[in-house]
Amino acid sequence: MIVYIYDGKEHKGKAGEELLRKALKDYSGNAYTGIVIKREKYGKPYFENIPVQFSISHSGQIWVCLMADFNVGIDIQFYKNLKYEKIAERFFTENEIEYIHQKGIDGFFQVWTRKEAYVKYTGNGFANEGFSDFSVVSKEGNNYFLKKTIGEAYFQELDLPSDKCDFITKSKLVGVTCSRVKEFINIKILGNEGER
């Protein structure tokens, strides 16, 4: 698995598709031409006739793309001020809400990124698979823990190295991947002229 990272304002729409093409070119060794990007029923993007899976997330100026030869999901979030307890009460399960009561805003963003990565992994989207229909937190006694798996889906924390990612020192960022295979995650930085 490779996570491609881009730090810049231009990462949505056509610019985002160009970043995706750059990432695929690197991932595949430029094996594919005529790249067509389509969307599944619930909005998950995919490459037509290319056996590479990907998932995209962005927060602020940061764009990330996880690529693998198997199904994947990724989410990143910069911390921001919000009424996280009210959001949790609306969208999260009872165990998740209790976890957030114990962990505060850190717990909120840990739960949120796992939930987003999971629905991207399944491809069911937010509308079809409600956030309160599954839990990323388990309970043992009076303690609550983040799950490492849901069914065959593994969660892995995205540990971005600060020596490669200047933006980490500016703001707190949390990220997580979800895939059916647990393996080492390589990280590559995409620049304006390709990979840095």
Query: Where along the chain do its domains lie?
Result: 2-195
Residue-level pLDDT, tens digit, the chain, 196 residues: 999 999 888 888 889 999 999 999 999 999 998 899 999 888 889 999 999 999 999 998 899 999 999 999 999 999 999 999 999 999 999 999 999 999 999 999 999 999 999 999 998 876 666 788 899 999 999 999 999 999 999 999 988 766 666 666 556 888 999 999 888 999 999 975 444 3
Using one digit for the tens of pLDDT, what is the confidence trace for 66-112?
A: 999 999 999 999 999 999 999 999 999 999 999 999 999 999 999 99
- Quote the CA–CA distance of 54 and 139 in Å, as a whole number: 32
Residue 120 CA to residue 39 CA, distance in Å, equals 12
For domain 2-195, say whether CATH 3.40.50.1820 is its number: no
CA angle (123 as vertex; 97, 189 as ends), nearest 5 = 90
- What does the block give as tokens for 172? 């707190």
Cβ–Cβ under 8 Å, residues 139 and 107:
no
- Return the exposure string of 10-38: e unless at least 16 CB atoms fall within 10 Å of the residue's CB, then b: ebeeeebeebbebbbbbbeeeebeebeee
d(CA 76, CA 96): 18
Say whether 153 sits in a helix, a strand or coil. Answer: strand
Instruction: Provide CB contacts within 8 A for 23, sequence distance 6+.
Output: 2, 4, 54, 65, 67, 188, 190
What pairing do the DSSP bridges indicate for beta strands 153-157 and 173-179? antiparallel
Chain centroid, CA 191 distance in Å: 20
Could you tell me the pTM of the whole model?
0.91
Backbone angles phi, psi at 11, to 5 degrees: -145, 15
Residues 6+ apart with CB under 8 A from 104: none
Largest CA distance in the chain: 55
* Predicted confidence (pLDDT) per residue in 38-47, tens digit: 998 888 899 9
